Structure 1
Amino acid sequence: MFSKAEAQIIKKEFWTAFAEAYPRKWLLYDTKIKDVSFKFYVDNKKAQVMLDIEPKDEEKRKIYFEKIESLKNILHDEFLPDAVLERNFHLETGKIISRVWVEKTGGISLYNKATWNEIFDFFNENMDAFERFFYEYEDYIKDLEVNT
């Protein structure tokens, strides 16, 4: 195991190496939709690429999720076949959000540098596909006046 300080150093090295391997600007928090953002996540067992939908207004969260859910077949067929859509995802904090994500498990770890390239490739391929999906359907997703 690593001390907290050692773990922080490894995390920093990981994200720096990822930025060097794939030097591009990711969409992440710049969706132009308040409280809707793309995220990368990695720990000692899994890597995830996520779209978190977390407006405080429950009705907005519902609408944004339902819009993406209405595009589920397209998302699966053309972009991310393994995407999971969860309307009521419970965070460790107790907060409920909507989340769409893909996950890689098995033999990868933030703390094993030998698996970093595999994680980097997973992040790049899946975030790129997620972003292409979002840009393709952005106007529809953003427009709260157009119902699903």
Structure 2
Amino acid sequence: MYSREESQKLKREFWVAFAEKHPRKWVLYDTKIKDFSFKFYVDNKKAQVLIDIEHRSDEKRTAYFEKIEALKNILEEEFIKDLVFEKNYTLESGKTISRIWIEKQGVGFSNRNNWESIFDFFFEKMNALEMFYLEYDEFIKDIENN
């Protein structure tokens, strides 16, 4: 078991190694939609690539989620399969958001032998989500015409 400091150091090394393997600027928070972001997540059980829609207005949050959900067939046929769509996802903090994600189970950042497969998973899945978003962002952003 790692101490908290050792775990944080290892996590930093993990992210530096990922950035060195895939040196590029990801969209992440730069979606031009308030509280709509792409995220990487890794712990000691799984790795995830996420779209989090955290708008304070439930109406707007739901509208953005439903826009993506309306494109689900295209998204899964042309970009990425096996996504999980959850309109009302509750964070540990108790906050309700909308989340769309894919995960790889049985991997963790504390095992360096997992890093390569996590990096490949992150790159492949986030790249696919970004390509989808860049192609359909105007449709997604236009929630006034639901």
Aligned to 2:145, the other structure's residue is in SS state coil
Give the partner amino acid of 2:119. F
Give yes or no for contact 2:47–2:103 (8 Å, CA) kept in 1.
yes
What are the ranges of 5 or more consecutive residues in structure 2 without an aligned counterpart? none
Give yes or no for contact 2:67–2:143 (8 Å, CA) kept in 1.
no
Aligned to 1:145, the other structure's residue is in SS state helix
Give yes or no for contact 2:48–2:122 (8 Å, CA) kept in 1.
yes
Calculate the TM-score normalised by the size of structure 1.
0.97
Calculate the TM-score normalised by the size of structure 2.
0.98
CA distance in structure 1 between the partners assigned to 2:144 and 2:8 by the alignment: 44
CA distance in structure 1 between the partners assigned to 2:132 and 2:64 by the alignment: 14
Shift of 1:76: 1.0
Deviations along 1:95-131, one digit per CA (max 9) or x if unpaired, are 000000010012x111000110000000000000000
Q: Is structure 2 residue 106 aligned with structure 1 residue 103? A: no
How many percent of aligned residue pairs carry the same amino acid? Answer: 62
- Give the number of aligned pairs: 146
Give 1:49's aligned residue.
49
Indicate the RMSD between aligned Cα atoms, in angstroms: 0.6
Give 1:16's aligned residue.
16
Give 2:72's aligned residue.
72
Q: 1:1-148, aligned counterparts within 5 Å?
A: 1-106=1-106, 108-147=107-146
CA distance in structure 2 between the partners assigned to 1:109 and 1:62 by the alignment: 32
